[in-house]
Amino acid sequence: MKVLRSISALRDYRKQLAGSVGLVLTMGFLHEGHLSLVRRSKAECEYTFVSIFVNPTQFGPDEDFGAYPRDTNRDLKLLENTGADAVFLPGAGEMYPPGADTVVVPGKTAHRLEGAARPGHFRGVATVVLKLFNLIQPQRAYFGQKDAQQAAVIRKMVADLDVPVEIAVMPTVREGDGLAMSSRNTYLNPAEREAATVLYRSLKLAEELINGGERDAEIVRQRMTELISAEPLAHIDYVSVADAGSLDELAFVIRPALVSLAVRIGRTRLIDNVTLT
């Protein structure tokens, strides 16, 4: 497995590859969700790249950039065991050299939900993802459904800017009790970890309501809110029942819907979602 820490080394290595390339973009501290994307890339592409970069431009001033979990040696061992061909591991100065000030400003898909709660977040995401696409030039890039809005923003960027990469979105990988795997789960103490299951339980409630015939989206939001609010350690950022394509909030669930939420468990902010038809 090649470990590439500079853009020049990456470009030299990339020139040697003649087959299809799959890319998994990560911020490190890998878990089974990330590794499932690596395995899918290996099954579908001749070469699999993984990027590990905690991107400072997608964190707000009061967010957890400094505390974000990092363990590069562990990550590299996991990736080697999973069969990744190359890992791009740049520093912030490599990705954002002095004087760099060009950014990607995504459109209205980025203004809702996470975009409204975290202003500037998707500008940072779109900018670094486009840079990595340009550098690695994958034929296919793999993302997890847990970050559904991120995938939607990137898919729109790729379409609008004619970037020749296919976006593949894989199902959310969950713990046995339903909690979506996330690097931030490591922040949770035992009581918070138990409380965090309320996210998935609320999504399952929405699924039961809608599959049972409930079409009033506000009733679904209210029932989810009631369930989450009954958990003392949980504090809601948002609960959404939105059009699965545009992410506009729905009044009635009469077309595919993305049911999503952001909830703080103690000081840890977690997101999750399900898509329902």
Annotated binding site for beta-alanine: 58
> What residue numbers does the annotated binding site for ATP cover?
27-34, 144-147, 173, 181-184
Q: How far is CA 144 from the centre of its chain?
A: 6
Angle at 231 between CA 230 and CA 233, to 5 degrees: 140
> What residue numbers does the annotated binding site cover?
27-34, 58, 144-147, 150, 173, 181-184
Q: Is 83 in contact with 22 (CB distance < 8 Å)?
A: no
Cα(79)–Cα(189) distance, integer angstroms: 27
> What residue numbers does the annotated binding site for (R)-pantoate cover?
58, 150
Catalytic position from the list 34, 111, 121, 235 = 34
- Residue length of the chain: 277
Residue 170 to residues 21, 36, 131, 152, 202: CA-CA distances in angstroms? 17, 9, 22, 13, 22
Is 34 tagged catalytic?
yes
- Residue 213 half-sphere exposure toward CB, CA atoms < 13 A: 0
Active site residues: 34
